[in-house]
A and B are shown apart, each in its own frame.
Chain A
Amino acid sequence: MKTKKITPIRYILVLCLLLALVSGCATSQADRYDEGATIVPAKKPVSEFVKKDVTYPIDAYDPWECFNRDMYTFNYYFDKYFFLPIVGAYEWILPDYVEDRISGIFNNLGELSNLTNNLLQLKGKGTAITTGRIIVNSTVGLAGMYDPAKNWGMPEHDEDFGQTLGHYGMGAGPYLVLPVLGPSSLRDTTGLAVDTTARIFFWDWMWRDGTFENVSTSNESKIRWSMNAIEVIDARHQVPFRYYQSGSPFEYDFVRKLYLEKRKLDVAK
């Protein structure tokens, strides 16, 4: 069974490779103008205006920009023709109230990664509060459906392995737009892979350890697949972001900047 299991991360990696192969980044300069037309230098040219030795606020380390922009476009189409219709159906079927409870359950499960990473960064307060949150929300909060811990002075302390790596001094590395998942960086993608793997091991351990011993193997995989599917749908449901919705030609630049700055702040926290 184990060898057959394809984790989301493996999916993503395979997809990355495939898309890298098909993404057309090298454009010949001859395609840049119609036959017979000549390119006239701009009146306010970039070359004169943007200085090479100056770092501008919008600048970011993005050596794979062409691939990333392709991926950004891919995500738009993936959203439009696959992901969002499913999320739409999910939202249409379920009342908002039920959706919020489901989000709560998955957010509660996500606390596990918050806990390990608070621990790994030796953050005593964060670890204590996250432990408290798990205990309170899993019991009084009915498996995370409600978040009473927040009202009792225990707000979420989001930490992931990307932040842990950052905490110990690793830079973000190149910006990376992941298929389906969107903005990330090399460091954060590594972190995501580690967090996901850890989670899979944890669940394996839960299943094998007899927690659910009277569930048959075939039912197990069905349940786990449905859980994964609902989790992914719920994750998209929780994010109102739509690719290209701003219409701005500089949306890619702004999203990149905001993502990297946000992560910088998260790490510093």
Chain B
Amino acid sequence: MKTKKKLQYLLLSCSLILAAVSIGQAASYDYPIADPIAATILSTPPADQAALPKTIRVKKYQTIDIFPDRSVPEVFWYNEKLRYSVAYHKEKAPVMFMIAGTGAGYDSAKMKMMQKAFFQAGFHVVALSSPTHPNFIVAASSSGMPGDIRSDAKDLYNVMEKMLEKSKKRDLIGDFYLSGYSLGGSQAAFVAKLDEERKVFNFKKVLMINPALNIYDSAIKLDKMLVDNLPEGGNGFNTFYNKLIGNITDSYVQGDFVDLSHGFFYSAYDEILPTPAEGKAVIGFSFRISLANLLFVSDVMTNSGYIVPKNMKLFKTDSLTNYCKTSARGDGFSEYVENILYPVYKAKNPDLSLRELVDQSSLKVIEDYLKKSDKIGMVTNVDDFILASGDVEYFKQVFGDRAKIYPRGGHCGNMAYKDNVAYMIDFFKSE
């Protein structure tokens, strides 16, 4: 009997300790949305966001001509120059470069939020569109087909160098720092690696926020979120789309139409939570729109003849609606890689398999560098669904205490949360 009693006590105290531990954990991180899908769509509720200035001193709508000799197809005339923004101080300050996530522009909601946070912390902040953004592809991608992360990193580096050359106030420029979220996070690591050879910026610190370990694998996951969660399988696309458009227009004011990427489609759900399946489909859909842009723009820029007939010119006033339909349907990222990116690489190296190509864009390629580079940090969430099982463990093993892993937040959902912003700033401020 006594042993039984003891055992009961033991169990009780054990459960109490466990409870205390879990309460302790919960108290240490109070980001309010438990579901990763909901977190990704709803982001951080205003009351829980870091306190940031409403407006900052920022030059918007800046442009730079990266390839002055490039003849841009007429149909993309408006993307001839690369657009970006700079938040600046009037005295000497360190410079932060930020790289946006897949399909997102320099002016997406997340970029604006980060720009304010870094500006407030005393940085000049340069916001760059993702190399997968149509404007970047047309104006600044050397190949016209992003997706090979080493090549994208070179393009980004080239852009940053050109910006530095263009800068008229060199005396106000201090040390350089780098950050990026999602795909932009993965790219930041490769840009940092490139910088070790080129040594133009000598980045003091680099932070990757919710990066993809392997962009191909993450993209396939996002593609599946759309296809697997449409009502009646793939046939339900129209039903789903009509409902989504209804939701968007409901909350849409003409002016909010700035960012065609994720933020815009998520904005339909600022209060009403969709069903779990619908939520996944929305995430997949907004990703798909980015891919439709990518597929069409790259097809035209490389004259691949995939959707637009090879050698055919498109003009300013041509209707692109049918190309939009054709680009948006299909297999998404894998279709892009198979039909635009891979053929070009295979032509150069016939033995290269598709898997080998996409694995070259994995962070594992630069594992040794990441392991020994104390200046590189990373932030992610346990429930970030663009990661495969084991990826978080891998990050912990590679980055050690330079990896900050939050218990929730989905994919980039908690970026604006006060603790996250504080950590981000602290990472860059500490020596």
A residues adjacent to B (C-beta < 8 A): 23-25, 27, 31-34, 37-46, 49-50, 56-59, 62, 65-66, 69-70, 73, 76, 182-183, 238-255, 257-259, 261-262, 265
Contact = CB atoms under 8 A, between A and B. Distances in A.
A233 to B, nearest CB: 15
Given A49-B325, A246-B257, A261-B245, 20 more contacts: A25-B317, A31-B313, A42-B310, A43-B307, A45-B307, A49-B326, A56-B238, A62-B319, A69-B319, A70-B316, A240-B256, A240-B258, A246-B105, A248-B293, A250-B293, A250-B324, A254-B257, A258-B248, A262-B249, A265-B246
Interface stretch (B117-125, B129-137, B412-420): B129-137
B79 A69 contact: no
B258 A245 contact: yes
Q: Which 4 A-B pairs rank lowest in CB-CB distance, beginning with the nearest? A: A247-B135, A40-B310, A244-B78, A246-B260
Interface in B257-272: 257-260
Contacts of B330: 44
Contacts of A76: 78
A42 B303 CA distance: 10
Contacts of A247: 78-79, 83, 105, 129, 133-135, 138, 260, 293
A31 B314 CA distance: 10
Given A50-B325, A239-B254, A248 B249 contact: no
17 contacts: A44-B339, A46-B323, A46-B326, A56-B325, A69-B318, A182-B254, A183-B254, A241-B255, A242-B61, A247-B133, A247-B138, A249-B134, A249-B296, A250-B320, A250-B321, A261-B245, A265-B249
Contact of A254 (B76, B79, B260, B319): B260
A39 B311 CA distance: 5
Contacts of B337: none
Contacts of B431: none
Given A50-B325, A240-B258, A249-B320, A39 B312 contact: yes
A42 B306 contact: yes
Contacts of B260: 246-248, 250-251, 254
B326 to A, nearest CB: 5
A253 B312 contact: no
A37 B311 CA distance: 7
Interface in B337-377: 339
A246 B259 contact: yes
B257 A69 contact: no
B262 to A, nearest CB: 12
A242 B308 CA distance: 27
B292 A250 contact: yes
B134 to A, nearest CB: 4
Interface in B200-255: 237-238, 241-242, 245-246, 248-250, 252, 254-255
Chain A binding surface, main DSSP class: loop
A242 B258 contact: yes
A70 B326 CA distance: 24
Given A240-B256, A241-B255, A258 B320 contact: no
A139 B406 CA distance: 53
B305 interface: yes
Contact of B311 (A33, A69, A238, A254): A33
A245 B317 CA distance: 18
B157 to A, nearest CB: 21
B309 interface: yes
A248 B323 CA distance: 13
B159 interface: no
Contacts of B312: 32-33, 39
Nearest to B258: A245
B119 to A, nearest CB: 18
B245 A38 contact: no
Nearest to B78: A244
Contacts of B315: 27, 31
Contacts of A43: 305-307, 339
Interface string B141-157: 00000000000000000
A59 B325 CA distance: 9
Contacts of A252: 320
Contact of A257 (B107, B245, B320, B325): B245
Nearest to B310: A40
Contacts of A239: 254-255
B431 to A, nearest CB: 38
Contact of B245 (A32, A39, A57, A182): A57
B75 interface: yes
Contact of A32 (B83, B296, B313): B313
A154 to B, nearest CB: 20
A69 B314 CA distance: 13
A24 to B, nearest CB: 7
A66 B318 CA distance: 7
Contact of A240 (B242, B246, B250, B255): B255
A49 B322 CA distance: 9
A252 B329 CA distance: 19
Contacts of A65: 317, 319
A151 B259 CA distance: 31
Nearest to B328: A58
